[in-house]
Copies of this chain bind each other. A is one copy, B any other.
Amino acid sequence: MIEEICKKAKAASVQMVRLSAEQRNMALCKMADALETNVEEILGANVVDVEAAKSRGVKAALLDRLSLDAEKIGNMAKELREVSSLADPVGIVLSSYTHSNGLIIKQIRVPIGVVGVIYESRPNVTSDSAGVCVKSGNAVILRGGSDALQSNLCIGKVLREALQNTDVPIDAIQVVNSPDRKAAEELMSMRQYIDVLIPRGGADLINTVIEKSKIPVIETGTGNCHIYLEEDADLDMATPIIINAKTQRPGVCNAAEKLLINSKIANTYLPKIITELRKYKVEVRGDQKTCQIMPDVKAATEQDWYTEYLDLIISIKIVEDLTEAISHINKYGTKHSEAIITHDAAKASRFLQEIDSAAVYWNASTRFTDGNQFGLGTEIGISTQKLHARGPMSIQHLTTTKHVIEGTGQTRK
């Protein structure tokens, strides 16, 4: 069954490359309309998922991610209309070269082909992912979590019905109707049909996909972000940055999870920042030195240094110098976003150069790592890998390039 879905997606992807931006954008608007027209049906399917989840006694946070209401569906429609209004990423000529023999060689941006998305329990990912894939001329195969199966199937059905009155083939959007793990594993082996797999969810999901996939994967999301305070750090600047990075939205990937402090300022600054963090209800954990200075701080474990809390928790480590800070971050971090607070340009420069992360900050909060904040437009995730896309990913990253060569009979000498 999975192979049938893949074949249909491949066939749809070939049709997709013939479409103009107008045809794809028109489809996105019809998809948005259809979500709004079918709110009741989608909510009905969602209730089935939510009731089943409740009867299994799942956590409130999962129920919250799983549950839809009219407003959330309205936002999904709004998101599709916004994507339709973005500049077209397809067909752009990136370079043109004329060979001495007259051949004209152009490099052109084209859709990737078939995109697989593997995600968890948020049904809006179904429509958001379908939207960015249609926009960029790709066919998409959507495989959400079993918790949200009825919601995802219903959203998929509504979006496919909407495509019937457009030039986009309905098989450009397919939802896998199979909640078991084997279906996901089979999907991850379909290298001859699927060009890229995008896992959207927590670290466990992403690691499973990386372990099992034979298809190239674009990793997004995990952010164990660090802030390092040099000995000369302006502490009046540092405190608001730390509070902002930790507390403004603790559940997102660009929130700070770790604070490293140069030992020369630890005695004076630690009590201040810990008092301030606690005002914002942040649980503070610390390394041995931190706990010596502040005995009421809970000791951090080795695992803490690797952990993305996504919560009001921070671990503090005292380091001897910049070198130790860089080594620690490169060892324990997730290559997402890290900041140094210093007035020393040479030290800042070393940090910015040697820290191996997608975004490196000098005297600013890590919370800015975001497509819109970087002036790149709507993002579909933050890539923490180094190939193809690094940092905020836009619809442009759902394209590849092709060399198109026009000749008049040229042969190679």
Contacts and interface: CB of A to CB of B under 8 A. Distances in A.
B216 A409 contact: no
A363 B407 contact: yes
Contacts of A214: 210-211
Contacts of A18: 350, 353-354
Nearest to A411: B244
A61 to B, nearest CB: 23
A356 interface: yes
A141 B206 CA distance: 26
Nearest to A409: B237
B412 A367 contact: yes
A387 B216 contact: yes
Given A214-B211, A409-B363, A196 B386 contact: yes
A361 B410 CA distance: 10
Contacts of A211: 214
Contacts of A245: 411
A360 B240 contact: no
Interface in A239-275: 240-241, 243-245, 248
Contacts of A352: 404
A17 B411 contact: no
A405 B97 contact: no
A360 B402 contact: yes
Interface string A368-387: 11000111000000000111
A364 to B, nearest CB: 3
Contacts of A210: 191, 214
17 contacts: A14-B330, A14-B354, A105-B375, A112-B387, A113-B356, A240-B409, A241-B409, A244-B412, A357-B402, A358-B402, A360-B402, A360-B403, A361-B407, A364-B409, A369-B403, A373-B412, A391-B401
